[in-house]
Amino acid sequence: MAFRDLHEYLRALEARGELQRVTVPVDPYLEMAEIADRMVARGGPALLFTNVKGSQFPVAMNLFGTQARTNFALGLDDPDRVGQTLRTLIQPPEVGGFWDKLRALPKLAELSSYFPKLVHDAPCQEVVDNDPDLTKLPVLTTWPQDGGPFITLPLVCTRDPATGRRNLGMYRMQVFDGKTAGMHWHLHKGGRYHQIAAKNQGERRLPVAVALGADPATIYAATAPLPRDIDEFILAGFLRRAPVELVRAKTVDVEVPAHAEFVLEGYVDVDELRMEGPFGDHTGYYSLADLYPVFHVTAITRRRDPIYPATVVGRPIKEDAYLGKVTERLFLPLIQMLVPDVVDISMPPAGVFHNLVIVSIAKHYPGQARQTMYALWGMGQMANAKHIVVVDKDVNVHDMDEVIWRVTNNIDAARDVVIVEGPLDDLDHASPRAHFGGKMGIDATRKLPEEGHTRVWPDDIVMPPEIKALVDRRWQEYGFRS
Ligand SMILES: Cc1cc2nc3c(=O)[nH]c(=O)nc-3n(C[C@H](O)[C@H](O)[C@H](O)COP(=O)(O)O)c2cc1C
Ligand SMILES: [Mn+2]
Protein backbone atom coordinates (compact mmCIF):
# COMPACT_ATOMS: atom_id res chain seq x y z
CA MET A 1 0.00 0.00 0.00
CA ALA A 2 1.25 3.46 -0.82
CA PHE A 3 1.30 5.70 2.22
CA ARG A 4 0.82 9.28 1.18
CA ASP A 5 2.84 10.80 3.97
CA LEU A 6 4.20 10.32 7.47
CA HIS A 7 0.81 11.13 9.00
CA GLU A 8 -0.88 8.35 7.10
CA TYR A 9 1.87 5.89 8.00
CA LEU A 10 1.56 6.77 11.69
CA ARG A 11 -2.22 6.30 11.52
CA ALA A 12 -1.70 2.86 9.98
CA LEU A 13 0.75 1.96 12.74
CA GLU A 14 -1.72 3.14 15.35
CA ALA A 15 -4.44 0.94 13.83
CA ARG A 16 -2.06 -2.04 14.12
CA GLY A 17 -1.34 -1.19 17.75
CA GLU A 18 2.21 -0.20 16.85
CA LEU A 19 2.22 3.42 17.91
CA GLN A 20 2.52 4.78 21.40
CA ARG A 21 2.02 8.43 22.23
CA VAL A 22 4.14 10.01 24.92
CA THR A 23 2.33 13.10 26.19
CA VAL A 24 4.40 14.05 29.24
CA PRO A 25 7.21 16.56 28.71
CA VAL A 26 10.46 14.99 27.49
CA ASP A 27 13.89 16.42 26.81
CA PRO A 28 15.42 16.22 23.31
CA TYR A 29 18.80 16.28 25.07
CA LEU A 30 19.60 12.55 25.58
CA GLU A 31 16.32 11.59 27.29
CA MET A 32 14.32 10.97 24.12
CA ALA A 33 17.21 9.03 22.59
CA GLU A 34 17.36 6.73 25.62
CA ILE A 35 13.60 6.13 25.48
CA ALA A 36 13.63 5.34 21.76
CA ASP A 37 16.74 3.20 22.08
CA ARG A 38 15.07 1.01 24.69
CA MET A 39 11.98 0.68 22.54
CA VAL A 40 14.01 -0.41 19.51
CA ALA A 41 15.95 -2.89 21.65
CA ARG A 42 12.76 -4.57 22.82
CA GLY A 43 11.02 -4.49 19.43
CA GLY A 44 8.46 -2.04 20.84
CA PRO A 45 6.07 0.33 19.09
CA ALA A 46 6.80 3.50 17.16
CA LEU A 47 6.70 6.60 19.37
CA LEU A 48 5.04 9.95 18.99
CA PHE A 49 6.28 12.51 21.49
CA THR A 50 3.76 15.33 21.65
CA ASN A 51 5.34 17.44 24.38
CA VAL A 52 8.99 18.07 23.55
CA LYS A 53 10.83 20.60 25.68
CA GLY A 54 11.80 23.74 23.79
CA SER A 55 9.73 23.08 20.66
CA GLN A 56 6.14 23.30 19.54
CA PHE A 57 6.46 20.32 17.19
CA PRO A 58 5.84 16.62 17.92
CA VAL A 59 8.55 14.05 17.20
CA ALA A 60 8.09 10.58 15.69
CA MET A 61 10.67 7.88 16.44
CA ASN A 62 11.17 4.15 16.02
CA LEU A 63 9.41 4.32 12.65
CA PHE A 64 11.44 1.34 11.36
CA GLY A 65 12.20 -0.35 14.67
CA THR A 66 11.57 -3.97 13.62
CA GLN A 67 12.04 -5.81 10.35
CA ALA A 68 8.33 -6.57 10.19
CA ARG A 69 7.41 -2.89 10.65
CA THR A 70 9.97 -1.81 8.06
CA ASN A 71 8.63 -4.36 5.57
CA PHE A 72 5.09 -3.14 6.30
CA ALA A 73 6.19 0.48 5.85
CA LEU A 74 7.64 -0.33 2.45
CA GLY A 75 4.92 -2.70 1.30
CA LEU A 76 7.46 -5.53 1.17
CA ASP A 77 5.76 -8.77 2.10
CA ASP A 78 8.74 -10.54 0.52
CA PRO A 79 11.79 -8.33 -0.09
CA ASP A 80 13.53 -11.01 -2.19
CA ARG A 81 10.62 -11.19 -4.61
CA VAL A 82 10.49 -7.41 -4.89
CA GLY A 83 14.22 -7.41 -5.61
CA GLN A 84 13.61 -9.85 -8.48
CA THR A 85 10.86 -7.64 -9.87
CA LEU A 86 13.18 -4.66 -9.73
CA ARG A 87 15.74 -6.66 -11.67
CA THR A 88 13.32 -7.67 -14.43
CA LEU A 89 12.21 -4.07 -14.75
CA ILE A 90 15.65 -2.64 -15.26
CA GLN A 91 17.12 -5.54 -17.22
CA PRO A 92 17.89 -4.35 -20.74
CA PRO A 93 15.32 -5.70 -23.22
CA GLU A 94 16.44 -8.50 -25.53
CA VAL A 95 17.94 -6.70 -28.47
CA GLY A 96 16.46 -9.05 -31.01
CA GLY A 97 13.99 -7.99 -33.62
CA PHE A 98 10.92 -5.83 -33.72
CA TRP A 99 8.82 -8.26 -31.67
CA ASP A 100 11.30 -8.31 -28.80
CA LYS A 101 11.19 -4.53 -28.68
CA LEU A 102 7.44 -4.58 -28.71
CA ARG A 103 7.39 -7.09 -25.88
CA ALA A 104 9.65 -4.78 -23.85
CA LEU A 105 7.16 -1.92 -24.13
CA PRO A 106 4.90 -2.85 -21.21
CA LYS A 107 7.99 -3.11 -19.03
CA LEU A 108 9.04 0.39 -20.04
CA ALA A 109 5.51 1.65 -19.47
CA GLU A 110 5.47 0.07 -16.04
CA LEU A 111 8.82 1.59 -15.14
CA SER A 112 7.79 5.05 -16.29
CA SER A 113 4.59 4.83 -14.26
CA TYR A 114 6.82 5.02 -11.17
CA PHE A 115 8.55 8.23 -12.23
CA PRO A 116 7.92 11.14 -9.87
CA LYS A 117 5.13 13.54 -10.72
CA LEU A 118 5.43 17.30 -10.44
CA VAL A 119 2.61 19.10 -8.62
CA HIS A 120 2.10 22.77 -7.89
CA ASP A 121 0.15 22.77 -4.70
CA ALA A 122 1.77 20.96 -1.82
CA PRO A 123 1.09 20.33 1.87
CA CYS A 124 4.77 20.85 2.67
CA GLN A 125 4.32 24.51 1.68
CA GLU A 126 1.23 25.35 3.72
CA VAL A 127 3.36 27.58 5.97
CA VAL A 128 6.33 29.52 4.59
CA ASP A 129 8.92 31.12 6.87
CA ASN A 130 11.43 33.41 5.18
CA ASP A 131 13.30 34.16 8.37
CA PRO A 132 13.95 30.60 9.48
CA ASP A 133 15.41 29.44 12.75
CA LEU A 134 16.69 25.86 12.96
CA THR A 135 16.78 26.00 16.75
CA LYS A 136 12.97 26.01 16.79
CA LEU A 137 12.97 22.43 15.51
CA PRO A 138 12.95 19.64 18.11
CA VAL A 139 16.38 18.37 17.08
CA LEU A 140 17.75 15.65 19.35
CA THR A 141 21.14 15.31 20.95
CA THR A 142 21.51 11.54 21.10
CA TRP A 143 24.84 10.81 22.88
CA PRO A 144 26.77 12.67 25.58
CA GLN A 145 29.92 13.51 23.58
CA ASP A 146 27.99 14.65 20.49
CA GLY A 147 29.11 18.00 19.13
CA GLY A 148 25.52 19.26 19.34
CA PRO A 149 22.02 18.38 18.20
CA PHE A 150 21.81 16.40 14.93
CA ILE A 151 19.03 16.00 12.39
CA THR A 152 19.18 12.23 11.87
CA LEU A 153 16.58 11.47 9.17
CA PRO A 154 17.03 14.30 6.65
CA LEU A 155 16.13 13.75 3.01
CA VAL A 156 18.70 15.86 1.23
CA CYS A 157 17.56 16.86 -2.27
CA THR A 158 19.97 18.24 -4.84
CA ARG A 159 20.38 18.38 -8.55
CA ASP A 160 23.46 17.89 -10.66
CA PRO A 161 24.16 21.42 -11.93
CA ALA A 162 25.57 20.01 -15.18
CA THR A 163 22.87 17.47 -16.08
CA GLY A 164 19.91 18.52 -13.95
CA ARG A 165 19.56 15.00 -12.54
CA ARG A 166 18.13 14.66 -9.07
CA ASN A 167 19.73 13.01 -6.06
CA LEU A 168 18.12 12.14 -2.77
CA GLY A 169 20.40 11.10 0.09
CA MET A 170 20.23 10.81 3.84
CA TYR A 171 23.13 12.72 5.37
CA ARG A 172 23.02 13.78 9.00
CA MET A 173 23.07 17.47 9.81
CA GLN A 174 24.49 19.04 12.96
CA VAL A 175 22.59 22.18 13.89
CA PHE A 176 25.26 24.84 14.51
CA ASP A 177 22.87 27.76 15.06
CA GLY A 178 19.58 29.14 13.75
CA LYS A 179 20.86 29.55 10.19
CA THR A 180 23.53 26.92 9.62
CA ALA A 181 24.03 23.18 9.92
CA GLY A 182 26.72 20.68 8.98
CA MET A 183 26.16 18.73 5.78
CA HIS A 184 27.75 15.37 6.42
CA TRP A 185 27.66 14.02 2.90
CA HIS A 186 30.60 11.66 2.65
CA LEU A 187 33.22 11.97 -0.02
CA HIS A 188 31.68 9.19 -2.14
CA LYS A 189 28.01 10.18 -1.97
CA GLY A 190 25.63 11.74 -4.48
CA GLY A 191 25.18 15.09 -2.73
CA ARG A 192 28.90 15.59 -2.37
CA TYR A 193 29.33 14.86 -6.04
CA HIS A 194 26.79 17.57 -6.89
CA GLN A 195 28.72 20.02 -4.74
CA ILE A 196 31.91 19.18 -6.66
CA ALA A 197 30.02 19.44 -9.96
CA ALA A 198 28.79 22.93 -8.99
CA LYS A 199 32.34 24.02 -8.28
CA ASN A 200 33.52 22.61 -11.59
CA GLN A 201 30.80 24.62 -13.31
CA GLY A 202 32.28 27.76 -11.73
CA GLU A 203 29.33 28.23 -9.36
CA ARG A 204 29.74 29.43 -5.79
CA ARG A 205 26.72 27.71 -4.31
CA LEU A 206 24.81 24.48 -4.72
CA PRO A 207 21.08 24.89 -4.00
CA VAL A 208 19.94 22.30 -1.45
CA ALA A 209 16.54 21.48 0.02
CA VAL A 210 16.14 19.10 2.92
CA ALA A 211 12.83 17.36 3.49
CA LEU A 212 12.04 16.13 6.99
CA GLY A 213 9.39 13.42 7.15
CA ALA A 214 7.81 11.84 4.08
CA ASP A 215 6.09 8.61 3.15
CA PRO A 216 8.25 5.72 4.40
CA ALA A 217 9.29 4.54 0.92
CA THR A 218 10.78 7.95 0.20
CA ILE A 219 12.59 7.94 3.55
CA TYR A 220 14.02 4.52 2.74
CA ALA A 221 14.97 5.51 -0.81
CA ALA A 222 17.20 8.28 0.59
CA THR A 223 19.32 5.56 2.21
CA ALA A 224 19.48 3.26 -0.83
CA PRO A 225 22.87 3.03 -2.58
CA LEU A 226 21.68 3.60 -6.13
CA PRO A 227 24.18 4.28 -8.91
CA ARG A 228 25.06 7.93 -9.14
CA ASP A 229 22.72 9.08 -11.87
CA ILE A 230 19.66 7.09 -10.88
CA ASP A 231 16.89 9.09 -9.25
CA GLU A 232 16.01 7.70 -5.81
CA PHE A 233 12.43 8.98 -6.25
CA ILE A 234 11.92 6.35 -8.97
CA LEU A 235 12.87 3.63 -6.47
CA ALA A 236 10.44 5.14 -3.96
CA GLY A 237 7.71 5.18 -6.63
CA PHE A 238 8.46 1.55 -7.50
CA LEU A 239 8.16 0.49 -3.85
CA ARG A 240 4.94 2.48 -3.37
CA ARG A 241 3.60 1.32 -6.75
CA ALA A 242 2.60 4.94 -7.23
CA PRO A 243 4.69 7.95 -8.21
CA VAL A 244 6.11 10.25 -5.56
CA GLU A 245 4.66 13.74 -5.90
CA LEU A 246 7.30 16.44 -6.04
CA VAL A 247 6.98 20.18 -5.83
CA ARG A 248 9.54 22.85 -6.65
CA ALA A 249 10.89 24.39 -3.45
CA LYS A 250 9.75 27.99 -2.88
CA THR A 251 13.12 29.73 -2.98
CA VAL A 252 15.58 27.29 -4.59
CA ASP A 253 15.47 25.37 -7.85
CA VAL A 254 15.21 21.92 -6.28
CA GLU A 255 12.28 19.53 -6.26
CA VAL A 256 11.15 18.11 -2.93
CA PRO A 257 8.54 15.55 -1.80
CA ALA A 258 5.25 17.45 -1.82
CA HIS A 259 3.98 15.54 1.22
CA ALA A 260 7.01 16.22 3.41
CA GLU A 261 6.47 17.57 6.91
CA PHE A 262 9.14 20.29 6.76
CA VAL A 263 11.42 21.51 3.99
CA LEU A 264 14.63 23.38 4.81
CA GLU A 265 15.59 25.44 1.78
CA GLY A 266 19.06 26.87 1.30
CA TYR A 267 22.46 26.21 -0.15
CA VAL A 268 25.90 24.76 0.40
CA ASP A 269 28.84 27.01 -0.48
CA VAL A 270 31.14 25.01 -2.78
CA ASP A 271 34.28 25.91 -0.80
CA GLU A 272 33.15 26.30 2.79
CA LEU A 273 34.07 23.69 5.41
CA ARG A 274 33.48 23.73 9.15
CA MET A 275 34.30 21.35 12.02
CA GLU A 276 31.45 18.89 12.45
CA GLY A 277 31.00 16.18 15.11
CA PRO A 278 31.83 14.19 17.07
CA PHE A 279 28.69 12.09 16.74
CA GLY A 280 27.79 8.74 18.31
CA ASP A 281 27.48 6.85 15.03
CA HIS A 282 26.33 3.64 13.26
CA THR A 283 29.73 2.11 13.94
CA GLY A 284 29.05 2.13 17.67
CA TYR A 285 31.86 4.68 18.12
CA TYR A 286 31.88 8.43 17.98
CA SER A 287 32.75 9.40 14.46
CA LEU A 288 35.60 11.86 14.74
CA ALA A 289 35.10 15.60 14.45
CA ASP A 290 36.21 16.66 10.98
CA LEU A 291 35.76 19.34 8.34
CA TYR A 292 32.49 19.06 6.40
CA PRO A 293 30.43 21.32 4.16
CA VAL A 294 27.94 23.75 5.66
CA PHE A 295 24.23 24.10 4.89
CA HIS A 296 22.80 27.63 5.06
CA VAL A 297 19.05 27.73 5.54
CA THR A 298 17.26 30.59 3.81
CA ALA A 299 13.62 29.51 4.20
CA ILE A 300 11.64 26.80 5.96
CA THR A 301 8.33 25.63 4.58
CA ARG A 302 6.10 23.16 6.38
CA ARG A 303 2.69 21.70 6.84
CA ARG A 304 0.32 23.30 9.28
CA ASP A 305 0.66 20.31 11.59
CA PRO A 306 4.15 18.94 10.93
CA ILE A 307 5.74 15.99 12.71
CA TYR A 308 9.51 15.89 13.06
CA PRO A 309 11.06 12.42 12.49
CA ALA A 310 14.20 11.16 14.22
CA THR A 311 16.27 8.06 14.81
CA VAL A 312 19.12 7.06 17.08
CA VAL A 313 22.19 5.42 15.64
CA GLY A 314 24.85 3.86 17.85
CA ARG A 315 26.26 0.50 18.77
CA PRO A 316 24.49 -2.08 16.61
CA ILE A 317 21.81 -3.33 16.49
CA LYS A 318 19.79 -0.14 16.02
CA GLU A 319 16.88 0.90 13.84
CA ASP A 320 19.04 1.53 10.76
CA ALA A 321 19.85 -2.22 10.65
CA TYR A 322 16.33 -2.92 9.34
CA LEU A 323 16.65 -0.36 6.55
CA GLY A 324 20.03 -1.86 5.71
CA LYS A 325 18.56 -5.36 5.50
CA VAL A 326 16.03 -4.11 2.94
CA THR A 327 18.91 -2.82 0.85
CA GLU A 328 20.74 -6.13 1.19
CA ARG A 329 17.68 -8.01 -0.16
CA LEU A 330 16.63 -5.50 -2.86
CA PHE A 331 20.11 -5.11 -4.27
CA LEU A 332 21.11 -8.79 -4.36
CA PRO A 333 19.39 -9.42 -7.72
CA LEU A 334 21.09 -6.32 -9.14
CA ILE A 335 24.50 -7.54 -7.97
CA GLN A 336 23.68 -10.91 -9.56
CA MET A 337 23.12 -9.17 -12.89
CA LEU A 338 26.76 -8.12 -12.84
CA VAL A 339 28.28 -11.08 -10.98
CA PRO A 340 25.97 -13.94 -11.95
CA ASP A 341 27.51 -16.66 -9.79
CA VAL A 342 26.70 -14.77 -6.58
CA VAL A 343 24.10 -16.86 -4.73
CA ASP A 344 23.47 -14.81 -1.59
CA ILE A 345 24.89 -11.93 0.42
CA SER A 346 24.78 -11.05 4.06
CA MET A 347 25.86 -7.85 5.72
CA PRO A 348 25.35 -8.57 9.40
CA PRO A 349 24.30 -5.45 11.32
CA ALA A 350 27.19 -5.88 13.77
CA GLY A 351 29.48 -5.38 10.77
CA VAL A 352 27.86 -1.95 10.20
CA PHE A 353 27.35 -2.89 6.54
CA HIS A 354 30.64 -1.53 5.27
CA ASN A 355 32.80 -3.53 7.69
CA LEU A 356 31.76 -7.05 6.73
CA VAL A 357 30.20 -8.59 3.63
CA ILE A 358 29.70 -12.34 3.42
CA VAL A 359 28.96 -13.65 -0.04
CA SER A 360 28.25 -17.16 -1.30
CA ILE A 361 29.07 -18.15 -4.88
CA ALA A 362 28.52 -21.08 -7.20
CA LYS A 363 32.20 -21.63 -7.84
CA HIS A 364 33.12 -23.08 -11.23
CA TYR A 365 36.72 -22.10 -11.82
CA PRO A 366 39.98 -21.24 -10.06
CA GLY A 367 40.27 -17.72 -8.69
CA GLN A 368 36.56 -17.10 -8.77
CA ALA A 369 36.35 -16.12 -5.08
CA ARG A 370 38.95 -13.44 -5.68
CA GLN A 371 37.18 -12.27 -8.79
CA THR A 372 34.02 -11.88 -6.71
CA MET A 373 35.81 -9.74 -4.13
CA TYR A 374 37.35 -7.53 -6.79
CA ALA A 375 33.99 -7.14 -8.51
CA LEU A 376 32.27 -6.08 -5.29
CA TRP A 377 35.13 -3.72 -4.45
CA GLY A 378 34.45 -2.05 -7.78
CA MET A 379 30.76 -1.52 -7.25
CA GLY A 380 29.23 1.73 -5.92
CA GLN A 381 29.14 1.96 -2.14
CA MET A 382 30.22 -1.69 -1.96
CA ALA A 383 33.66 -0.30 -2.87
CA ASN A 384 33.92 0.83 0.75
CA ALA A 385 33.53 -2.71 2.12
CA LYS A 386 36.41 -3.35 4.47
CA HIS A 387 36.21 -7.14 4.73
CA ILE A 388 34.71 -9.53 2.21
CA VAL A 389 34.34 -13.22 3.00
CA VAL A 390 33.53 -15.58 0.12
CA VAL A 391 31.99 -18.99 0.81
CA ASP A 392 30.53 -21.77 -1.33
CA LYS A 393 26.91 -21.76 -2.43
CA ASP A 394 25.72 -24.31 0.14
CA VAL A 395 26.72 -22.08 3.08
CA ASN A 396 23.92 -20.13 4.73
CA VAL A 397 25.46 -16.66 4.87
CA HIS A 398 22.85 -15.49 7.38
CA ASP A 399 23.80 -18.07 10.00
CA MET A 400 26.88 -16.72 11.78
CA ASP A 401 27.57 -20.04 13.52
CA GLU A 402 27.70 -21.74 10.16
CA VAL A 403 29.83 -18.97 8.66
CA ILE A 404 32.39 -19.16 11.48
CA TRP A 405 32.45 -22.94 11.34
CA ARG A 406 32.96 -23.06 7.58
CA VAL A 407 35.34 -20.15 7.23
CA THR A 408 37.71 -21.07 10.03
CA ASN A 409 37.85 -24.68 8.88
CA ASN A 410 38.31 -23.91 5.25
CA ILE A 411 40.99 -21.28 5.10
CA ASP A 412 44.72 -21.51 5.04
CA ALA A 413 45.60 -17.98 6.09
CA ALA A 414 48.85 -17.90 4.16
CA ARG A 415 47.04 -18.78 0.94
CA ASP A 416 43.48 -17.53 1.22
CA VAL A 417 43.72 -14.02 2.59
CA VAL A 418 43.91 -11.14 0.15
CA ILE A 419 45.07 -7.79 1.45
CA VAL A 420 44.50 -4.78 -0.78
CA GLU A 421 44.20 -1.03 -0.36
CA GLY A 422 41.40 1.17 -1.51
CA PRO A 423 38.73 3.68 -0.56
CA LEU A 424 37.18 3.42 2.90
CA ASP A 425 33.98 4.73 4.37
CA ASP A 426 34.21 8.18 5.98
CA LEU A 427 33.26 6.56 9.29
CA ASP A 428 36.28 4.25 9.44
CA HIS A 429 38.54 5.28 12.32
CA ALA A 430 41.11 2.48 12.18
CA SER A 431 42.99 3.36 9.00
CA PRO A 432 45.99 5.66 9.46
CA ARG A 433 44.56 8.07 6.88
CA ALA A 434 40.95 9.08 6.39
CA HIS A 435 39.10 7.55 3.40
CA PHE A 436 41.91 5.26 2.29
CA GLY A 437 43.39 2.09 3.71
CA GLY A 438 43.64 -1.65 3.97
CA LYS A 439 40.94 -4.15 3.09
CA MET A 440 40.86 -7.87 3.51
CA GLY A 441 39.24 -10.56 1.44
CA ILE A 442 38.96 -14.12 2.72
CA ASP A 443 38.49 -16.93 0.23
CA ALA A 444 36.75 -19.63 2.26
CA THR A 445 35.56 -21.63 -0.73
CA ARG A 446 36.59 -25.22 -1.27
CA LYS A 447 39.96 -25.15 -3.05
CA LEU A 448 40.49 -26.71 -6.43
CA PRO A 449 43.57 -28.60 -7.62
CA GLU A 450 44.17 -25.75 -10.11
CA GLU A 451 44.46 -23.49 -7.09
CA GLY A 452 47.30 -25.64 -5.84
CA HIS A 453 45.24 -27.76 -3.49
CA THR A 454 46.08 -31.36 -4.34
CA ARG A 455 45.17 -32.87 -0.95
CA VAL A 456 41.76 -34.48 -0.53
CA TRP A 457 39.00 -32.04 0.42
CA PRO A 458 36.79 -33.80 2.98
CA ASP A 459 33.08 -34.30 2.45
CA ASP A 460 30.46 -32.79 4.74
CA ILE A 461 29.25 -35.16 7.45
CA VAL A 462 25.67 -36.13 6.61
CA MET A 463 23.49 -38.97 7.99
CA PRO A 464 21.92 -41.02 5.16
CA PRO A 465 18.23 -40.20 4.60
CA GLU A 466 17.10 -43.81 5.11
CA ILE A 467 18.55 -43.82 8.66
CA LYS A 468 16.84 -40.51 9.38
CA ALA A 469 13.55 -41.92 8.12
CA LEU A 470 14.00 -45.03 10.23
CA VAL A 471 14.59 -43.03 13.41
CA ASP A 472 11.64 -40.76 12.59
CA ARG A 473 9.45 -43.80 12.22
CA ARG A 474 10.59 -45.47 15.44
CA TRP A 475 10.79 -42.30 17.58
CA GLN A 476 7.79 -43.03 19.81
CA GLU A 477 8.78 -46.67 20.03
CA TYR A 478 12.06 -45.65 21.70
CA GLY A 479 9.92 -44.18 24.49
CA PHE A 480 10.35 -40.48 23.52
CA ARG A 481 7.19 -38.40 23.70
CA SER A 482 8.09 -35.73 21.19
C1 LIG B 1 20.04 7.08 9.74
C2 LIG B 1 21.06 7.20 8.65
C3 LIG B 1 22.01 8.22 8.68
C4 LIG B 1 22.97 8.35 7.68
N5 LIG B 1 23.87 9.36 7.74
C6 LIG B 1 24.76 9.54 6.74
C7 LIG B 1 25.66 10.64 6.76
O8 LIG B 1 25.69 11.43 7.69
N9 LIG B 1 26.49 10.80 5.69
C10 LIG B 1 26.48 9.94 4.62
O11 LIG B 1 27.22 10.18 3.68
N12 LIG B 1 25.66 8.87 4.60
C13 LIG B 1 24.80 8.66 5.63
N14 LIG B 1 23.93 7.59 5.60
C15 LIG B 1 24.04 6.63 4.48
C16 LIG B 1 23.47 7.21 3.20
O17 LIG B 1 22.16 7.65 3.39
C18 LIG B 1 23.52 6.16 2.08
O19 LIG B 1 24.88 5.87 1.82
C20 LIG B 1 22.83 6.59 0.80
O21 LIG B 1 22.90 5.55 -0.14
C22 LIG B 1 23.43 7.83 0.20
O23 LIG B 1 22.75 8.14 -1.00
P24 LIG B 1 23.56 8.62 -2.29
O25 LIG B 1 24.17 7.39 -2.88
O26 LIG B 1 22.53 9.23 -3.18
O27 LIG B 1 24.57 9.59 -1.85
C28 LIG B 1 22.98 7.43 6.60
C29 LIG B 1 22.02 6.42 6.56
C30 LIG B 1 21.08 6.29 7.56
C31 LIG B 1 20.07 5.18 7.49
MN1 LIG C 1 22.09 8.74 -5.17
Tell me which of 166, 183, 189 to substitute to probe ligand 1's pocket, judged by most ligand atoms within 8 Å of the beta carbon: 189
- What's the pLDDT band for 467 if we cut at 50, 70, 90? very high
Flag whether 217 is in a domain: yes
- Residue 347 and residue 242 share a domain: no
Q: What's the 193 CA to ligand 2 centre distance in angstroms?
A: 10
Flag whether 253 is in a domain: yes
Cβ neighbours, 10 Å, residue 164:
8
Pairing of strands 308-309, 59-61: parallel
Nearest residue (CA) to ligand 1, atom 5: 171
Nearest residue (CA) to ligand 1, atom 23: 169
Flag whether 183 is in a domain: yes
Q: Which atom of ligand 1 is nearest to the CA of 173?
A: 8
* Rounded average pLDDT over 94-111: 79
Closest CA to 387 of 329, 326, 437: 437
Parent domain of 417: 339-451
- Residue 205 and residue 85 share a domain: yes
- H helices of 26-115, in order, are 31-41, 67-73, 79-90, 98-112
Estimate the crossing angle of helix 79-90 against helix 98-112, to 10 degrees. 130
In 3-state terms, what secondary structure has residue 119?
coil
Q: Please give the backbone phi and psi of residue 481, each rounded to the nearest 5 degrees, phi first.
A: -85, -35
What is the structure's pLDDT at 93? 65
Instruction: Answer yes or no: is pLDDT of 106 > 90.
Output: no
- Residue 164 and residue 44 share a domain: yes
Ligand nearest to the CA of 222: 1
Phi-psi region of 399 (alpha: psi -120 to 50; beta: other; left: phi over 0): beta
- Residue 264 and residue 355 share a domain: no
CATH number of the domain that residue 192 is part of? 2.30.110.10
* Rounded average pLDDT over 4-32: 98
- Residue 343 and residue 299 share a domain: no
Closest CA to 150 of 64, 17, 279, 11: 279
Instruction: Answer yes or no: is pLDDT of 142 > 90.
Output: yes
- Residue 357 and residue 296 share a domain: no
In 3-state terms, what secondary structure has residue 283?
coil
Residues 426-464 pLDDT 10s: 999 999 999 999 999 999 999 999 999 999 999 999 999
CATH number of the domain that residue 348 is part of? 3.40.1670.10
Ligand nearest to the CA of 224: 1
- Residue 343 and residue 301 share a domain: no
Q: What's the 223 CA to ligand 2 centre distance in angstroms?
A: 8
Ligand nearest to the CA of 326: 1
Q: What's the 232 CA to ligand 2 centre distance in angstroms?
A: 6
- Residue 254 and residue 208 share a domain: yes
CB burial string 299-310: b at 16+ within 10 A, e below: bbbbbeebbbbb
* Rounded average pLDDT over 278-298: 97
- What's the pLDDT band for 95 if we cut at 50, 70, 90? low
Residues 342-356 pLDDT 10s: 999 999 999 999 999
Tell me which of 223, 287, 328, 352 to substitute to probe ligand 1's pocket, judged by most ligand atoms within 8 Å of the beta carbon: 223
Q: What's the 222 CA to ligand 2 centre distance in angstroms?
A: 8
Instruction: Answer yes or no: is pLDDT of 168 > 80.
Output: yes
* Rounded average pLDDT over 358-387: 98
CB burial string 174-203: b at 16+ within 10 A, e below: bbbeebbbbbbbbebbbbbbbbebbbeeee
Residues 307-317 pLDDT 10s: 999 999 999 99
Q: Which atom of ligand 1 is nearest to the CA of 327?
A: 21
Q: Please give the backbone phi and psi of residue 103, each rounded to the nearest 5 degrees, phi first.
A: -65, -30
CA–CA separation, 64 vs 41, rounded Å?
A: 12
Ligand nearest to the CA of 293: 1
What is the structure's pLDDT at 474? 98
- Residue 360 and residue 289 share a domain: no
Q: Which of 281, 320, 426, 443 is catalytic?
A: 281
Q: What's the 337 CA to ligand 2 centre distance in angstroms?
A: 20
Flag whether 475 is in a domain: no
Residue type, 134: L
Cβ neighbours, 10 Å, residue 290:
14
pTM of the shown model: 0.97
What is the structure's pLDDT at 427? 97
Flag whether 314 is in a domain: no
Q: Which atom of ligand 1 is nearest to the CA of 225?
A: 21
Domain count, the chain: 2
What is the structure's pLDDT at 171? 98
- Residue 355 and residue 288 share a domain: no
Q: What's the 233 CA to ligand 2 centre distance in angstroms?
A: 10
Please report, rounded to a whole number, the percentage of residues in the chain having pLDDT higher than 70.
99
* Rounded average pLDDT over 284-307: 98
> Known catalytic residue: 281?
yes
Residue ranges lining ligand 1, Cβ < 6 Å: 152, 167, 169-172, 184-186, 189-191, 222-225, 311, 313, 320, 323, 381
Flag whether 468 is in a domain: no
For the chain, give the mean pLDDT.
Answer: 96
Q: Which atom of ligand 1 is nearest to the CA of 191?
A: 27
Flag whether 363 is in a domain: yes
- Residue 172 and residue 242 share a domain: yes
What is the structure's pLDDT at 1? 65
CA–CA separation, 63 vs 48, rounded Å?
A: 10
Flag whether 463 is in a domain: no
- Residue 347 and residue 235 share a domain: no
